[in-house]
């Protein structure tokens, strides 16, 4: 099944810092840009950072308890193939990224078992990247 790419635009209070983070740390390909925004190829999706004053959720994360961890809300990210998730975790670790929740296996031995990790960009946006060894478990109950 082929899914259409999504479009996501987020606020950043420092365009240069955010651009460097997404381009150099994540290795995303930069697309069009102006002095107020930059778009990236975000694992096949259109992702845009827009200069905007800091939003309240970027200053103080709200959390929800999931499997014994305080998960930041709101957050966004991508479900990656297992090897791509592992490679991303290694890349982020090699760049010295401080994780909000370190890469680990959640719901081990249960429906929906998954690899997951949470981090913040330099502007306070929370991101989650996850993977399922069995993609059939994506919507398991």
Q: Could you read off the pLDDT of 87-118 as tens digits, one per residue?
A: 999 999 999 999 999 999 999 888 889 999 99
Question: 84 and 103 in one domain?
Answer: yes
Pair 111, 89: CB distance under 8 Å: no
DSSP one-letter code for 21: I
pLDDT confidence tier of residue 1, bands split at 50, 70 and 90 = low
The tens digit of pLDDT for each residue in 38-91 reads 999 999 999 999 999 888 887 877 888 988 888 999 999 999 999 999 999 999
Residue 22: pLDDT above 60?
yes
Q: What are the start-end ranges of the E strands in 52-123?
A: 62-66, 69-73, 76-79, 99-106, 114-120
Question: 73 and 5 in one domain?
Answer: no
Question: 137 and 68 in one domain?
Answer: yes
pLDDT at 37: 98
Question: 102 and 81 in one domain?
Answer: yes
Question: 34 and 67 in one domain?
Answer: no
Expressed as residue numbers, the domain containing 122 is 61-141
Distance (Å, whole) CA 50 – CA 23? 15
- Alpha helices (H) along the chain: 15-20, 56-59, 82-94
Total domains in the fold of the chain: 2
């Amino acid at each position: 099944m082929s899914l259409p790419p999504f479009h996501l635009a987020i606020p950043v209070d420092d365009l240069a810092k955010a651009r460097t983070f997404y381009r150099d740390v994540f290795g995303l390909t930069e697309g069009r840009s102006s002095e107020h925004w930059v778009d990236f190829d975000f694992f096949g999706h259109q992702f845009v950072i827009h200069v905007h004053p800091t939003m309240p959720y970027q200053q103080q994360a709200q959390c929800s308890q999931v499997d014994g961890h305080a998960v930041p809300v709101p957050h966004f990210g991508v479900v990656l193939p297992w090897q791509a998730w592992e490679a991303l975790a290694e890349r982020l670790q090699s760049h010295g990224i401080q994780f909000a929740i370190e890469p680990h296996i959640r719901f081990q031995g249960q429906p929906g078992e998954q690899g997951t990790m949470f981090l913040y960009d330099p502007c306070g946006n929370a991101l989650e990247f996850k993977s399922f060894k069995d993609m059939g478990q994506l919507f398991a109950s």
